[in-house]
Structures are given as C-alpha cells and as structure tokens.
Amino acid sequence: MQVTVTGKQIDVGDSLRRHIEVTTTAIVDKYFGKAIEAHAVFSRARHLFLAAISVHARRGLTVQCHAESADPYAAFDEAAARLEKQLRRYKRRLRNHHKGAREGEEASPATDYVLAAEEEAPASPDAKPLVIAEMRTTIPQISVSEAVMRLDLSDLPALLFRNSAHGNLNLVYRRRDGNVGWIDPDLADHNRRAAARKGA
C-alpha cells in the first residue's frame, strides 16, 4: 500500500513520516490485508496541528479520520486511534463485504459540484450559485446498513445512494444530535399508497 504524507505549509520530518507510514500500514493490514492507498495531511490552525488520515481501502470505500493537538505526533496518533476504532467496529462486515464484493459494483454516474461560500456567491436572489469545482462521481447501489457504515467510515455529513431494496435514491446523514437520519422517498410513497388503499 502506498502511504503519502503531505504538510500544508508545514515541514513533515523523516521521523514523523516513517512513524505515519509504519502505523498506518499496520492498522490497514490488520483489517483489510491490502488497501489501495493512504494519505495523511498535516496543517496548522493557530497553535494546534491538525492531522487528517484518508484510506482508500478499495473501490468505492474510503475511510477518513482527523484529530488535532499541540504536538504533531499526538495529533496523528489520535487520528490513527480513531481510524482503528472505526475499522474495529465494522471489522466483520468489511471482511464479509470484501469476500462477497462483486467486481464492478452497480453504480450510477453523477456530477458532483462544489458551490462557492455565501460571501463569494452572487448577491442577487435570481443569480445561479457560483460553481467552483465540478467532477464526476458515482452513486453506489447498496443497502441502508452499508450506507450508514460508509457514512461513518468516510466521516461525511451525508451520503446519497441507490437503495438496493428498490433501486431508488436515498440519503443518510449525520444529525446534530449525533444520530443518523435516513430519507427514503420510496418508503414515504409506499406508506401514502397503503394509507389510500385502507381508506378506500
């Protein structure tokens, strides 16, 4: 597995780089056997070092963790501990999924846009949002439990997917209370039809 270490306006020394490579490889090998690549990024905010780890475990599955500390080693070690905790939590499911994974998992192509922040966006209410990045992405066809696992592992606020139970678009998202929300328009439509049949 290739491990890349990047410092944003920070010089990452050889000793820290070796520590990151050895620790990340050991954690990933323990849970995956092999992964495609890992990337550790260091940056600085005020007096703290920020460490972010991203592991591209296999096609369609990325695991991300971050932490901050006054010491770069401590920041990385805390992020690595979070990475291991996430992988331990889903260890059995990750291994079972890997064994039963179909090559070329069903996915829909889509375009992912990044919009400018409000202060950069045009002030007129009729104006279209300013697109600052556009890239191709895929929408995986997976179960709800797989979507929740991917949401946790990727440390994302939301994940759009095609529900493998019926093929329609669904969304899982992290709520402010820490729980996961699930939006299934097909389920709402099904309940509405069922209620209409009961009333008829």
- pTM passes above 0.85: no
The tens digit of pLDDT for each residue in 39-77 reads: 999 999 888 999 999 998 777 788 899 999 999 999 999
Q: How far apart are CA 89 and CA 84, in angstroms?
A: 8
Q: How far apart are CA 19 and CA 27, in angstroms?
A: 12
Q: Do domains 2-99 and 105-199 have the same CATH topology?
A: no
- Measured at the alpha carbon of residue 149, what is the angle toward residues 100 and 147, in degrees to the nearest 5? 85
Domain boundaries, the chain: 2-99, 105-199
Average pLDDT, the chain: 81
Torsion of CA 85, 89, 93, 98, to 10 degrees: 0
Backbone angles phi, psi at 16, to 5 degrees: -65, -40
Per CATH, domain 105-199 is 3.40.190.10: no
Q: What is the CATH code for 2-99?
A: 3.30.160.100
The tens digit of pLDDT for each residue in 74-121 reads: 999 999 999 999 888 877 776 665 444 443 355 666 666 666 666 655
**Exposed (0-12), middle (13-18) or buried (19+): which is 23, by Cβ within 10 Å?**
buried
Say which residue, 184 or 93, is predicted with more confidence: 184
Q: Other C-beta atoms within 10 Å of 36: how many? A: 15
Q: Determine the length of the chain.
A: 200
According to the model, what pLDDT value does residue 101 have?
47
According to the model, what pLDDT value does residue 100 have?
46
